[in-house]
Amino acid sequence: LGGYFGSRLMSSIREEKGYTYGIFSAIQNHRHAGLFAVATEVNAKYTAEALLEIKHQMWRLCEEKISETELNTVKNYVYGTYLSNFDGSVRLAERFKKSAELEIPFSFYKESLEQMMQHTPDDLLALAGKYLNPANMKTLIVGDISKLV
């Protein structure tokens, strides 16, 4: 959705609409829960439009099957990013620390990457419908409220 430069959110909100210089989304793993977050900075006058577009792109993932080409592009990006998280002693130590914090075996990283690489467009549609439903989204907007309404 928004994890790399060619992502849907970057293409739509930066390239097409010009609301921001950058936007990203990420999954954060915690011990007892997870968090999916989208973050960007926009001029206050574009806040409502940007939020609507973010929700629109989330709905698209929940309702439209992603193409094999787009899925493979995302998989390749995630694969490279994932591997870079283990590059060097500091990053490797961070992964060991995170696995201890989450109480997961270190093998989880390899297994989850292998599982992710096997996902199909149908799998992604089902996962998005379950976890990315914008109707369940909580929104946090930071800024001068008088300029947002």
DSSP string, the chain: --SSTTSHHIIIIIIIT---S-EEEEEEE-SS-EEEEEEE---GGGHHHHHHHHHHHHHHHHHSPPPHHHHHHHHHHHHHHHHHTTSSHHHHHHHHHHHHHHT--THHHHHHHHHHHH--HHHHHHHHHHH--GGG------S-HHHH-
- The verdict on residue 149 lying in a domain is no
pLDDT in the model for residue 149: 62
- Give the range of the structural domain holding residue 124, as residue numbers without chain letter: 8-137
Q: How many domains does the chain fold into? A: 1
Res. 30 pLDDT band, cuts 50 70 90 = confident
- The verdict on residue 3 lying in a domain is no
Q: What is the pLDDT of residues 36-91, one digit of tens each?
A: 899 999 999 999 999 999 999 999 999 999 999 999 999 999 999 989 999 999 99
pTM of the model: 0.85
Q: What is the pLDDT of residues 111-127, one digit of tens each?
A: 999 999 999 999 999 99
- The verdict on residue 130 lying in a domain is yes
pLDDT in the model for residue 32: 84
Q: For position 17, which CATH number holds?
A: 3.30.830.10
